[in-house]
Amino acid sequence: MKDRERIPFPNDREMKNQVSGIIEGGLEQQEGFLMSIHTLLKKVGFQHIFRDATEILFTLLISGLTLIGFVILTSTWVSWNDVNLYAAIFTTSPLLYGVFVYFFFIQKQTNPAFDVEMVCKYNVHVLAAVRMLAFSLLTIVLNGIALIALSVQTDIHLLFALLLSFISLFICSSMFLYIQHAPIRKLSPISVMVGWVVLNLALYSIAGAGYEAVILSIPIYVYLIIAVLTGYVYIKQVMKFLQKPKGVPLC
Amino acid sequence: MLEVHHVTKNYQSFTALKEVDLQFDHGIYGLLAPNGAGKTTLMKMLVTLTFPSDGEITYNHENIVDLGEEYRDILGYLPQDFGYYKSYTAEKYLMYIAALKGLDKTKAKLRIKELLELVGLQDVGRKKLKKFSGGMIQRVGVCQALLNDPKVLILDEPTAGLDPKERARFKRLLSTLARDRIILLSTHIVSDIESIAKEIIMIKDKRVLYKKNQEELRSLLEGKLFEAIIPFEDVEAYHSKFSVLSEKQEKNGIKVRFVSEQKGAWNEVEPSLEDVFLYVYEEETDLSEDRKHD
Ligand SMILES: Nc1ncnc2c1ncn2[C@@H]1O[C@H](COP(=O)(O)OP(=O)(O)OP(=O)(O)O)[C@@H](O)[C@H]1O
Ligand SMILES: [Mg+2]
């Protein structure tokens, strides 16, 4: 026992140096979220990230027209004040985003230049982070406009409606992004969309007035907290695309 | 240094490659194997388009999937079915790929001009890709792979569709590029890699059969390859006795080129790489012919 070499106990300075060395070595330089997005926009450029901007705008126009047509058509036989508007907002807010994901993310994998693009430094997955974010911003803006227009005509509480719309958008879009990395790739955004609508309709029809009462009884700051939380989860999911796609089963 | 460690690739229940071990230093490596041998599968794993079912691939001792962006930054790849946007001009397409590769815009412009000249497409840079011929598209594909001056260049049948003049130009281009990078190209055309490849890799029965330089490969048939001019009636007999690699109609009979373990009264000839290729994969062609006869 005595022969065993004594290991000198490190002093404070040594310990500090060692610890910071280990931390620096272990933590790979991980750019912040906004910084990464900024770098991407600067390096690759908006026009290349949104190579298909005209198609996106066209799809937006078509879905906008469809929606307006739907509203005009249904408003002739349903008076809007009779419908539970909050439930409707909660259910329909993520749909536009779903359309974007379906047409402009999944399609990418069948695009002719996929193999070439996928092998580039900033590949489809990295660019997806920017695209997804832009799509959600666009959806938020458009939903916002729709809700403001609605608040002029009906007596909904605008802030409350906006919060509901954010929450459902973040929940759904986190789901959309999650399934991109999920082990079962058979799940498509369509199934998320349909699932979301069906779930809400089911809840609404089973719980009926109770559903509405529950939604209305929860104080607004709780919704605010939920909105922030779901927003955080969503950003985390977007971040996944910026990071190394380890073990992402693509083909 | 790019290393493949004991890689197996399964597609569902089908095994495409089994326990493949390879090392690549700088220089040209030719992947020479018949259709369906797994060339594209190996290359897709090397560019992280698909992943090994077992084993791993490393670049400078780090897993290429973990390296991610860092690895793709030094990678150039020409897929076997090179896809592009029909309505883009060659320049616009290359600018787009350059952006995805993170190249600076002004640098990219210069580089594209340089590369288009290198493959002889300088006059059609402003033309839409849908007006390009197959061989021209293939050359655009080579350009995009070279944009970022890659350290690892993976080319899946780059000479498919090129005319003999372009083939020769491409071969020259490759040998100038090979000095300080890894180039791996697959082909069925032996002359494409003859004389320029540092090593030739042959895949057979899902495994790497040979990874040797051309000298070593040719020496496999040293002293066993013969030529003889024989009457037409004897051809069948030669086929059943020896591995006949080729036959050619001559004035006074048929000239057969064949492998024999024993020496005879025949002309011994120098084996070429093509002979080795034909000999190594001979059984497979025989099998398919048997099936045809059935
Ligand atoms: N996605 C896939 N799913 C199932 N099997 C596949 C898939 N891709 C390739 N294979 C099989 O794997 C084997 C090797 O295919 P691969 O494309 O790698 O061959 P190759 O050597 O590139 O052939 P070629 O010279 O025709 O290009 C083939 O038998 C093929 O059928
Ligand atoms: Mg192939």
Per-residue DSSP letters for B50-105? S--SEEEEEETTEEHHHHTHHHHTTEEEE-SS----TTSBHHHHHHHHHHHTT--H
Residue B125 has a pLDDT of: 92
The DSSP annotation for A129-140 comes to HHHHHHHHHHHH
Interface residues on B facing A, Cβ-Cβ cutoff 8 A: 44, 47-51, 65-69, 72-73, 75, 77, 79, 81-85, 96-97, 99-102, 105, 141, 144, 148
**Statement: residue A23 has pLDDT above 60:** no
B185 and B86 part of one domain: yes
Q: Where are the beta strands (DSSP E) in B75-224?
A: 75-78, 152-156, 182-187, 199-204, 207-212
Regarding whether B202 and B93 lie in a shared domain, the answer is yes
pLDDT at A16: 66
B92: which 2 tokens? 């616009």
Domain, as residue range, for B68: 2-218
Are residues B148 and B109 both part of a single domain? yes
Q: How many domains does chain B have?
A: 2
Q: So what's the pLDDT on residue A7?
A: 57
CA atoms within 13 A on the CB side of A226: 17
Is it the case that residue A26 has pLDDT exceeding 50?
Answer: no
Q: Does one domain contain both B241 and B177?
A: no
Mean pLDDT of chain A: 77
Number of A/B CB contacts below 8 angstroms equals: 80
Query: Within a domain: residue B277?
Result: no
Within chain B, strands assigned E span 2-11, 14-24, 27-32, 54-59, 62-63, 75-78, 152-156, 182-187, 199-204, 207-212, 225-230, 243-250, 253-259, 267-268
The answer to whether residues B23 and B193 touch, using CB atoms and an 8 Å cutoff, is no
Task: With CA atoms as reference, report the closest residue to A120 among A40, A178, A191, A193.
Answer: A40
The ligand whose atoms approach the alpha carbon of B16 most closely is 1
Closest C-alpha to A175, from A161, A188, A160, A157: A188
The fraction of chain A above a pLDDT of 90, given in percent, is 2
Starting at the edge strand found earlier in the chain, the sheet holding B207-212 runs B75-78, B152-156, B182-187, B27-32, B199-204, B207-212
Cα–Cα distances in angstroms (integers) from residue A204 to residues A74, A210, A214, B159, in the given order: 19, 8, 11, 63
Strands B243-250 and B253-259: antiparallel
Residue B292 lies in a domain: no
Q: How far is CA B267 from CA B223, B224, B229, B242, B264, in A?
A: 10, 10, 9, 15, 8
Q: Please report, for chain A, the start and end positions of each structural domain, with discontinuous segments joined by +.
A: 31-242
Q: Is residue B293 part of a domain?
A: no
Ligand 1 nearest-atom number relative to CA B50:
1
Residue that finishes a domain, picked among B158, B193, B218: B218
Distance CA A51, CA A123 (A): 13
Cross-strand partners of A126: none
* CB neighbour list of residue B147: distance below 8 Å, 6 or more residues apart: B76, B94, B97, B98, B101, B103, B108, B111, B112, B115
pLDDT for the residue A176: 82
Mutate to test the interface with A, among B100, B109, B130 (most CBs of A within 10 A): B100
Reported pTM: 0.81
Q: CA nearest B9: which of B228, B238, B212, B203?
A: B203
The domain spanning residue B168 has which CATH number? 3.40.50.300
| Higher pLDDT, residue B224 or A249 | B224
Do B229 and B109 share a structural domain?
no
**B201: Cβ–Cβ under 8 A, 6 or more apart, which residues?**
B22, B29, B30, B31, B32, B33, B208, B210, B211
- Assigned token pair, B1: 């240094």
Q: What is the pLDDT of residue B130?
A: 92
Do A121 and B82 make contact, defined as CB atoms within 8 angstroms? no
Q: Do residues B145 and B266 share a domain?
A: no
More confident residue, A127 or B74: B74
pLDDT at B286: 45
| B64 belongs to a structural domain | yes
Mark whether B92 and B157 lie in a shared domain: yes
B230 and B178 in a single domain? The answer is no
Q: Do B190 and B212 have their domain in common?
A: yes
Chain B residues within 8 A of A50 when measuring between CB atoms: none
Say whether B97 and A247 touch across the interface (CB within 8 A). Answer: no
A126 contacts on B by Cβ (under 8 Å): 69
Burial of A124 (0-12, 13-18, 19+ CB in 10 A): buried
B100 and B170 assigned to the same domain:
yes
User: Residue B285 domain-assigned?
Assistant: no
Residue B280 lies in a domain: no
Q: Give the per-residue pLDDT at A77.
A: 66
CB contact (8 A) between residue A119 and residue B47: yes
Q: Please indicate, yes or no, if residue B130 is contained in any of the structural domains.
A: yes
Which residue among A120, A246, A251 places its CB closest to the CB of B100? A120
Question: At residue A245, does pLDDT exceed 60?
Answer: no
% residues pLDDT > 70 (chain A): 76
Q: Look at residue B78 in the predicted model and tell me its pLDDT.
A: 95
Residues B188 and B231 in one domain: no
* Whether B124 and B20 share a structural domain: yes
Q: A27-74, pLDDT tens digit by residue? A: 444 567 778 888 888 888 888 888 888 888 888 888 888 878 877 777
Please give the distance, rounded to the nearest whole angstrom, from the Cα atom of residue B133 to the centre of ligand 1: 26
Tens digit of pLDDT for each residue in A170-195? 988 888 888 877 665 566 778 888 88
In order along chain B (294 residues), what is the average pLDDT of each group of 10 residues?
94 92 93 91 94 94 90 94 90 94 93 93 93 91 94 93 89 88 91 88 90 87 87 85 87 87 84 88 55 41
Interface contact A113-B84, CB threshold 8 A: yes
The count of C-alpha atoms lying within 13 angstroms of the C-alpha of B15, restricted to the half-sphere facing its C-beta, is 11
- The number of residues in chain B equals 294
User: Which residues fall inside 5 Å of ion ligand 2, going by CB?
Assistant: B 39-40, 80
**Cα separation, A241 vs A128, whole angstroms:** 7
From the list A45, A115, A127, the residue facing B83 with the nearest CB is A115
Residue in chain B closest to A113 (alpha carbons) equals: B83
Q: Is B100's CB within 8 Å of A247's CB?
A: no
C-alpha B39 to ligand 2 mean position (Å) = 5
Q: What per-residue confidence (pLDDT) applies to B264?
A: 80
Q: How far is CA B122 from the centre of its chain?
A: 26
